[in-house]
Amino acid sequence: MRRDCLGENVVFALDEALMCQGHFGGRSDEYLVWVYGDDSLSRFNGVVVLGDHVSSYHVQEKNGLRYTDFNRTIADALANEPILDMQGITEALSRYYYKNGSSFAGLFPPPEYEEAFSKLADEAIHYYNS
């Protein structure tokens, strides 16, 4: 999806953000695109709008694509866990852990998701061992 057809204020989220960040390769059977932006974006098949705004503090840009940073992506995944396939975030979290000397330093899950993050972090540590 090109920025010019979706508008200037589109910010990719969840798996799309992970792909932009280089933490996840994507899926061959994914038919949803998660974004922050105007509600009118939902007119496109497969586009799911998480909200109309995300703080610029949590937005990164590369090659003309805007996407949520890793901390915001984790928070969004934890907030929407009941409706998500968590494979992408688990894989990305595992990569982060091993690339950062077996540490989650630099990640700051919101307090209300600390317990869910602990469970997800444990799954991520063992992701490639199962």
Rg of the chain over all Cα atoms, to the nearest angstrom: 15
* Share above pLDDT 90 across residues of the chain, in percent, rounded to a whole number: 78
- Whether residue 19 has pLDDT greater than 50: yes
- Whether residue 12 has pLDDT greater than 60: yes
Q: Is residue 34 a contact partner of residue 13, using CB atoms and an 8 Å limit?
A: yes
What pLDDT, on a 0 to 100 scale, did the predictor assign at position 29?
A: 75
Mean pLDDT of the chain: 90
- Whether residue 6 has pLDDT greater than 60: no
Mean pLDDT in residue range 68-93: 95
The token pair that represents 54 in the structure block: 């995300």
- Long-range CB pairs of 117-122 (<8 Å, 24+ gap) are 117/74, 117/78, 120/77, 120/78, 120/86, 120/89, 120/90, 120/93, 121/93, 121/97
Phi, psi (5° rounding) for residue 67?
A: -155, 160
pLDDT, one tens digit per residue, over 89-126 is 999 999 999 999 999 999 999 999 999 999 999 999 99
Give me the helix-helix angle, 14-21 and 70-79, nearest 10°: 160
Phi/psi zone of residue 49: left (φ > 0), alpha (ψ -120 to 50 degrees), beta?
beta
